[in-house]
């Protein structure tokens, strides 16, 4: 019997019930996908790094290597569990052909390696170490994802032919944000090519206690001279692997939370409307001896019915789409170590969502206790509407615009309903604007300044033996007419003493830091020789803050004046101006062209003039490093915008139907007084527009402010702090408001059609 009553009510009120079901379904879909993504991502990264035996500490080094000294350090240090030095052969991209496609435009530092015997394994898609055969080459999955090549295709390295055996997972360099990519060969092939590339070493350690990593890093810098290259630690490897998917998970969770709030408001609106409509019937039931709890159970059953109709399909849709959503995680990291755990966790989340919905509905239905049988049967006036019945004086508003005056009076009369509509529009507009602003922030060219890279066109790198070309390069750049400006930056490891007297080494850049400025989270770039700026991860690891003092070996005291975000050298860099011995330093030259379109010609010219010079196009770097994230973020932002527009459309139609049902008598009286259906539809549109013009600016403002807090909170966890939040004015201030106004006008026109079909005589009897 209860089910039959619920089904009849559902058929009678299709739009309100269908809207609530859709909102709950969307919330369940996004919430379940977010849980599945988060649990699979965390577990898959852990499994990949466990299977690969990812090193806790990696020092890349170019130059002479004292292997006996490194072995002695490893044996003597109490925290070292295992140690190895892997050969790494740097090769220029133009010496690698995938089929007929050269990698000369790749921003990645490419290096040849052979499979490790102890740890840091390169794994196949089953997470097993790969053992290439002679003549075979294996590439990172990055190239498979880009669709550049397939197994069996020819690969040419330094003019020698290989066959692509397949692709591998690299627990260190999987992500597009990782600046280096390894290419796996058989050991015999590696040694055959050894004299053709630039040798480098990967000095790797597994530790007994990863919690003491900071102390081990300090000991390594104090005792080991091989430090000519970036240092990367286990937490950084894990962080880079999860960056892209982690950001999307955060957006999904926020979207599901907002749509859940919209569901709550819609449920509140619908339940209160039902209680108002059934007020006399509930008074009669109480007079006949029914308790409030008995009546409440009926409405709770109605809420359970709607919740299940939304939650179950939402969960099933999430399971249907999970393989597509998890495709990137499955490809790069494999499945979770316990495949059933993410499913059980998402089921638990769904049950929690159901209980929250019931608790919320139960709180609303407590108002049934306030219903008095005598008052309900005698007056027929709902106590639920008390405080809303006081009318606004239409005469005081004037009759020059009677439809606007009546719309204001109706809003004043039903203030709670207006507040609910206000909150619904605010939340939906927030959900539309915020993802668009985040996407706009990431795709803006200035975003790269928040990654520790200035806005330039080209970057030139010289190091090691190539530094002999530095003077010749300077002379050539001085005479280069295509340049608007350029500046050299030297990078060197500098020993310093911290405020607690501990010694550390900072990878420090020297030069004109104002020529191509970056964004500073706090403070500014160093302006004097006694000032220094540190990356956020360095400051966090060392426990420093602005104003702290650092002491050079010479005794010179430096003041920490700036904090910035950086993705190079494992996120740990510094900037300074004090004199230093630059012997063995790395030279990086930043170039800005008068006409960026001339970039390819200049790159080709300088590569020919300076063999071994690494030239990187910053636009190519941005496209290749951020491209995958931008693509996923763009799809998600458009999807959330579409979902929000659908939600707002349903909200407008839902409110239209509820107003026509609740105020049918008043509307019939107005028609009898001479107001035409188009006048009444205009009054309805005015009510919506008045709420819209109040809620929309606030929703956009919150999206611009809280959206920035949200984006920065996620980015800060990856070492990028205080990223400037950029707003797309065309979308935020024109496209979205115009779309919402169009939706409201459409809803009012549908109301006009329904009002034209209204039988005045039947409805006026109810007044």
Tally of CB atoms within 10 A around 568: 17
Model pTM score: 0.74
Q: How far is CA 262 from CA 23, 349, 350, in A?
A: 7, 18, 17
> CA dihedral defined by 164, 166, 171, 173, rounded to 10 degrees?
30
The pLDDT, as a whole number, for residue 561 is 93
Q: How far is CA 141 from CA 124, 145, 175, 331, 567, in A?
A: 10, 6, 9, 8, 21
Chain segment 641-688, per-residue pLDDT in tens: 888 888 888 777 777 777 776 666 676 666 666 677 777 777 787 888
User: By C-alpha distance, which of 210, 240, 180, 181 is closest to 82?
Assistant: 210
With a cut of 70, which residues of the chain have pLDDT below it?
A: 1-13, 105, 107, 176-177, 179, 276-290, 292, 337, 368, 370-400, 463-467, 501, 567-570, 584, 661-665, 667-674, 714-723, 751-767
Q: In the structure encoding, which two tokens stand for residue 581, read together?
A: 């011995």
- Strand 520-523, strand 557-564: pairing: antiparallel
Residue 128 burial by Cβ neighbours in a 10 Å radius (0-12, 13-18, 19+): exposed
According to DSSP, the residues that pair with 560 across neighbouring strands are 532
Cα(271)–Cα(17) distance, integer angstroms: 10
The pLDDT, as a whole number, for residue 342 is 85
- Residue pair 337/43 in contact (Cβ under 8 Å)? The answer is yes
Contacts of 390 (CB under 8 A, 6+ apart): 412, 413
What secondary structure does DSSP assign to 663-726, as a single string? THHHHHHHHHTT--HHHHHHHHHHHHHHHHHHHHHHHHHHHHHHHHHHHHHHHHTTT--SPPP-
Helix ranges (H only) for 387-414 are 394-397, 402-413
The pLDDT, as a whole number, for residue 1 is 47
Chain segment 198-229, per-residue pLDDT in tens: 888 999 999 999 888 888 888 888 888 887 77
Cα(235)–Cα(55) distance, integer angstroms: 10
- Residue pair 471/485 in contact (Cβ under 8 Å)? The answer is no
As separate numbers, helices (DSSP H) first and strands (DSSP E) second, the chain gives: 24, 21
The pLDDT, as a whole number, for residue 387 is 45
Residue that has been written with the tokens 């599901």 in this structure? 256
What secondary structure does DSSP assign to 460-476, as a single string? EEE-GGGGGGHHHHHHH
User: By C-alpha distance, which of 367, 354, 365 is closest to 304?
Assistant: 354
Cα(22)–Cα(664) distance, integer angstroms: 26
Residue that has been written with the tokens 């900072």 in this structure? 506
Which H or E element spans position 199? strand 198-207
């Amino acid at each position: 019997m209860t089910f039959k009553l619920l089904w009849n009510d559902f058929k009678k009120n299709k739009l309100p019930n269908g809207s609530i079901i859709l909102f709950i379904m969307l919330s369940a879909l996004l919430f379940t996908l977010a849980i599945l993504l988060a649990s699979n991502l965390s577990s898959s990264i852990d499994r990949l790094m466990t299977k690969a035996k990812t090193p806790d500490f990696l020092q890349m080094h170019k130059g002479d290597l004292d292997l006996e000294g490194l072995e002695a350090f490893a044996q003597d240090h109490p925290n070292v569990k295992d140690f190895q030095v892997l050969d790494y052969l740097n090769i220029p991209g133009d010496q690698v052909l995938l089929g007929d496609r050269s990698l000369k435009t790749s921003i990645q530092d490419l290096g040849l390696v052979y499979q490790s015997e102890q740890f840091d394994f390169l794994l196949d898609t089953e997470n097993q170490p790969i053992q290439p055969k002679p003549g075979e080459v294996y590439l990172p999955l990055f190239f498979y994802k880009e669709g550049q090549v397939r197994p069996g295709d020819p690969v040419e390295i330094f003019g020698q032919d290989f066959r692509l055996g397949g692709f591998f997972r690299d627990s260190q360099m999987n992500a597009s944000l990782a600046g280096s990519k390894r290419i796996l060969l058989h050991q015999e092939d590696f040694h055959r090519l050894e004299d053709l590339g630039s040798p480098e070493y990967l000095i790797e350690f597994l530790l007994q206690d990863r919690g003491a990593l900071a102390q081990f890093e300090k000991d390594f810098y104090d005792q080991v001279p091989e430090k000519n290259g970036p240092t990367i630690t286990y937490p950084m490897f894990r962080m880079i692997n999860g960056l892209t998917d982690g950001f999307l998970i955060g957006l999904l969770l926020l979207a599901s939370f907002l749509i859940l709030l919209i569901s709550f408001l819609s449920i509140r609106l619908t339940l209160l409307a039902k209680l108002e409509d059934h007020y006399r019937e509930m008074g009669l039931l109480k007079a006949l001896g029914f308790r409030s709890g008995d009546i409440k159970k009926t409405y709770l059953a109605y809420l359970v019915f709607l919740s299940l109709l939304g939650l179950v399909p939402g969960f099933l849709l999430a399971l249907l789409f999970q393989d597509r959503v998890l495709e990137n995680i499955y490809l790069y990291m494999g499945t979770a170590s316990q495949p059933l755990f993410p499913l059980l966790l998402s089921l638990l989340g769904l049950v929690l969502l159901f209980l929250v919905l019931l608790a919320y509905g139960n709180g609303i239905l407590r108002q049934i206790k306030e219903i008095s049988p005598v008052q309900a049967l005698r007056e027929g006036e709902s106590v639920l509407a008390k405080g809303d019945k006081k009318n606004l004086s239409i005469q005081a508003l004037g009759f020059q615009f009677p439809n606007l005056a009546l719309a204001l009076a109706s809003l004043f009369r039903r203030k709670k309903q207006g507040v609910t509509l206000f909150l619904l529009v605010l939340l939906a507009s927030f959900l539309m604007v915020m993802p668009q602003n985040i996407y706009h922030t990431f795709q803006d060219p200035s975003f790269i300044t928040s990654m520790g890279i200035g806005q330039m066109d080209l970057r030139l790198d010289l190091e090691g033996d190539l530094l002999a070309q530095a003077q010749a390069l300077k002379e050539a750049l001085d005479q280069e007419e295509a340049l608007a400006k350029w500046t050299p930056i030297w990078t060197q490891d500098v020993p310093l003493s911290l405020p607690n007297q501990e010694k550390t080494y900072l990878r420090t850049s020297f030069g004109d830091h104002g020529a191509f400025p970056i964004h500073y989270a706090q403070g500014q770039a160093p302006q004097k020789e006694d000032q220094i700026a540190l990356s956020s991860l360095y400051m966090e690891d060392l426990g420093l803050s602005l104003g702290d003092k650092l002491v050079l070996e010479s005794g010179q005291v430096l003041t920490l004046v700036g904090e910035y975000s950086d993705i190079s050298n494992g996120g740990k860099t510094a900037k300074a101006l004090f004199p230093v011995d630059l012997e063995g330093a790395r030279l990086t030259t930043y170039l800005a062209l008068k006409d960026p379109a001339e970039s390819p010609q200049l790159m080709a010219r300088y590569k020919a003039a300076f063999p071994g010079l690494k030239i990187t196009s910053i636009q190519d770097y941005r496209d290749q490093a951020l491209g995958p994230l931008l693509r996923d973020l763009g799809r998600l932002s458009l999807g959330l915008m579409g979902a929000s527009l659908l939600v707002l459309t349903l909200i407008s139609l839902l409110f239209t139907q509820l107003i026509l049902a609740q105020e049918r008598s008043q509307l019939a009286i107005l028609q009898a007084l001479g107001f035409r259906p188009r006048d009444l539809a205009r009054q309805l549109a005015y009510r919506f527009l008045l709420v819209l013009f109040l809620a929309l600016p606030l929703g956009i403002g919150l999206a611009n402010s809280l959206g920035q807090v949200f984006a920065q909170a996620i980015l800060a966890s990856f070492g990028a702090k205080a990223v400037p939040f950029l707003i797309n004015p065309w979308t935020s201030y024109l496209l979205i408001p115009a779309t919402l106004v169009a939706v409201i006008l459409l809803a009012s026109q549908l109301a006009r059609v329904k009002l034209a079909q209204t039988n005045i005589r039947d409805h006026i009897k109810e007044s």
